[in-house]
Amino acid sequence: MKFRVWALSLLLMAPVAFASVDRGVLQFESIRSQQTEIRAAVQAGSGRYKDMSVNARGELLAKQDHLFQLMQGKQSTQDLNEDQKTDVFNTLEWIEAAINKADDERMICERRPVLGSTRKERVCKTAGQMRAEREATRERLDNREVRQ
């Protein structure tokens, strides 16, 4: 019974304790630390990066350079505009996909205009989903041309 009361009080206090933490905000200190560790291993060609091609390593390091440039002088994603946030997200997803060799699972976000409005919305899909949509659209257009 004491455990239940303790657990319940902990659950009730949690919203207050975490009220100041925005779950959509990424802190750049941890990203910088993680990317620096990855960079050292990639440059050394050790661990999971030992079989990575020279071109893939160069591309990964270039993406990291771009990411570090976006984060320069900033503490979190709150310091970025919407396009920069999308760029940071896409770059991190690209790096993760390159490391895990899962390019089709990489998330890609775009800011697309909303029809009939001046605002834009963020649309995120995997690289595989985007490729499948492009192929389906191309196939529909090809079938349409054949019928005409």
| pLDDT tens, position by position, 54-95 | 998 999 999 999 999 999 999 999 999 999 999 999 999 899
Q: Give the per-residue pLDDT at 9.
A: 40
Contact 109, 90 (CB under 8 A): yes
Q: What pTM did the predictor assign? A: 0.61
pLDDT in tens, 91-126: 998 998 888 876 667 788 888 899 999 999 988 888
Give the SS3 label for residue 122: strand
DSSP string covering 68-91, please?
HHHHTT-SBGGGS-HHHHHHHHHH
Q: How many C-alpha atoms does 51 have within 13 Å on its Cβ side?
A: 5
Query: Domain segments of the chain: what residues?
Result: 25-147
